[in-house]
Amino acid sequence: MVRFISLICLLSLNIARADFLGLGGESTLKSQIPTLVGELKGLEVKVDPAYEDSFNEGVRKIENRVEQEKLFCTGEAVDSEGNTLTKEKKQLCIRDLKKHYILAMDTIYELKKKYLGLIHERQIKRMDEVQEKLKADIEKNF
């Protein structure tokens, strides 16, 4: 029991020391990428020029936000309060950005795949209709 309490105290002190030294997992920038990805996921996938426009606009927003956050994480830009990151927080910020960027790219891929599947189904349906019409014309003319 004493070992368990000692272990908890030791872990608590390490966490407190990491926060005191600025090594905690929090950066001063709250990423907007998950919100933008959520908006993109919220679009109804359909074969429509309006969907394509909305999708492309969402992708542009994500790419622009990734670039902005990348500048902040590398220390080339400041947050809304004028703060920059310490070297340790820059590394954490880059890791978080990478994680969000991969999530965004996976989402974009899945939505594109679904959209292309709908287009493909539509094209096959049209091709089947043309084939049936050709068969009917051949039967009628011969």
What would the pLDDT profile of 83-93 be if each residue is shown by its tens digit? Answer: 888 888 999 99
Phi, psi angles (nearest 5°) of residue 136:
-65, -40
The type of residue at 60 is: R
Residues 93, 75 contacting (CB under 8 angstroms): no
Please state the domain extents for the chain: 26-141
Report the candidate in 72, 58, 63 with the shortest Cα–Cα distance to residue 100: 63
Interval 34-58: pLDDT, tens: 999 999 999 999 999 999 999 999 9
Instruction: Give buried/exposed letters for 122-139 (b at 16+ CB in 10 A, else e).
Output: eeeeeeeeeeeeeeeeee
Query: In this predicted model, what pLDDT tens digit does every residue of 91-115 receive, in sequence order?
Result: 999 999 999 999 999 999 999 999 9
Place 26 in a pLDDT band, splitting at 50, 70 and 90: very low
